[in-house]
Structure formats: C-alpha cells, structure tokens
Amino acid sequence: MDKTLPSLAEAVAGIPDGATIMIGGFGGSGAPIELIHALIDQGAKDLTVINNNAGNGHVGIAALIEQKRVRKMICSFPRSADPRVFTEAYLAGEIELEIVPQGTLAERIRAGGAGIPAFYTPTSYGTDVANGKAIGTFEGREYVQERWLKADYALIKAEEADPHGNLTYRMAARNFNPVMATAATVTIAQASKIVELGAIDPEHVITPGIFVNHIIEVPNPAQEEVLNREGAVYP
C-alpha cells in the first residue's frame, strides 16, 4: 500500500463544486497552504470551508475567499491580523458565516469522525449561539445539544508521513489537523517529509493511516505568517 500522490494538483483534482472541506490549522500554524493554493488553481467553487478562522492577508484561506470560491465559512473566530478579505465579503453578503465556539467546533468534528451524531455540552448555554438547539438537563445542569460535523474532504498539514498514511505533526501545528483527518470522506495530507515504512516509531504516530487517503510531500512548507509579513498575494 502506498498512498503517495505525485503532485498537489493530482491530490485536489477530484474536489467538486459545492464540496464541504475541512482545512487544518489555527491561524497560520498547521495550515496546509500549498494544498489550499492547489485548490485555488483547480477552480472548485461554492465550497463550504470549516476552519478555526477565516483567513489572514491574501494567501491560504483568505486567497480562496478572495477568488470567490467559498459560499460558507464554519469557524470560531473570523478575525485575524488582516481579516479584510473575509470581512468585506461578509459585510457585502457574499459569504455565509456559521459561528461555532472553538471547543464545540473541535468536538463536533471529533464526533463526526467517531460516529457520534449528537452530544451535549455546557458551552453556549443561555447565549445566542444556543438559539434553536435542544437543551438537556443532566445532574441538575443544562447542556446544549450539538450535532456532528463531517466533510467531503479534509486538507491537513503533517510533519512526517509514511506510505500507509501514518502521520506526525510539528509542535502546535497539530491543532485541528488530527481531528479533521478523522471526519472527512477523503483526507488529503501534505507532509514536510515522506519517510519509509517503519521510519516513524509506532509509539509516535499521532494520526494512524486508516484516517488518511492521500499523502503528498511538500518539503519546507510555507508559513502563512511569513508570507503575510512579506505581503504575499496568491495567485
């Protein structure tokens, strides 16, 4: 078994218009910039994108929005150092926004990957975010029912991958990547390095390959923060 694909273009080739796509990362940390840019080149539109944020500057998710490919963002915090692309699209009514508290977003994705259609959380009880949602009382306290979140595709960023798709991550770039890998029909991981089977200590595997469909090697991946400081614009 070898899940390696030769190019980014090939990895994203099958993504259709209207797809729901989870994109890993928290701000720029762990953001699969090269996969996002390949998706921009590929041209799919009317996308629903799930990410913690809604892009920064004019690269990555911000560039995808700027190219008018995103119909809806599902995120916890659509602000950033330079949030103009999303803000202008949102205030112009060109993009839909579903705000989800950050821990609820992570848990909805986890539930999606784990086959749990709904769960109860204390988060957001009594707030506008809970409007219209079922409330349950457990041991005398109120909880809000939240539903799982699944996607057609997940684009994630790993540090090392082996041909079976076992993945490691680097520092805080892990964030949403491992949970998103579990919750999509097709998970595509870019890795800084593809190593041979056995080169990743089994004790160090963070995402087991069963959750991963395709891997692509992207040595020395771009950092969103660095690109933004350089004033980069994609394409």
Write out the residues near another protein by the rule CB under 8 A.
26-30, 52, 76-81, 83, 86-87, 90-91, 97, 99-107, 109-110, 121-129, 169-179, 206, 223-226
Q: In Å, what is the CA distance from 31 to each residue of 27, 36, 122?
A: 7, 9, 29
* Cβ distance to another protein smaller for residue 67 or 223: 223
| Residue 11 CB, nearest approach to another protein (Å) | 22
Starting at the edge strand found earlier in the chain, the sheet holding 47-50 runs 96-99, 70-75, 47-50, 20-23, 151-161, 184-194, 214-217
My answer on whether omega of the bond before 235 falls inside 30° of 0, hence cis, is yes
Q: State which residue, 19 or 149, has the beta carbon closest to another protein.
A: 149
Instruction: Specify the length of the chain in residues.
Output: 235
* Residue whose CB is less far from another protein, 49 or 106: 106
CB of 13 to another protein, least distance (A): 28
Closest to 234 measured CA to CA, from 22, 35, 27, 29: 35
Give the nearest distance from C-beta 2 to another protein in angstroms.
26
CB of 190 to another protein, least distance (A): 14
Tokens of 13: 């080739």
Nearer to another protein, 15 or 85 (CB): 85
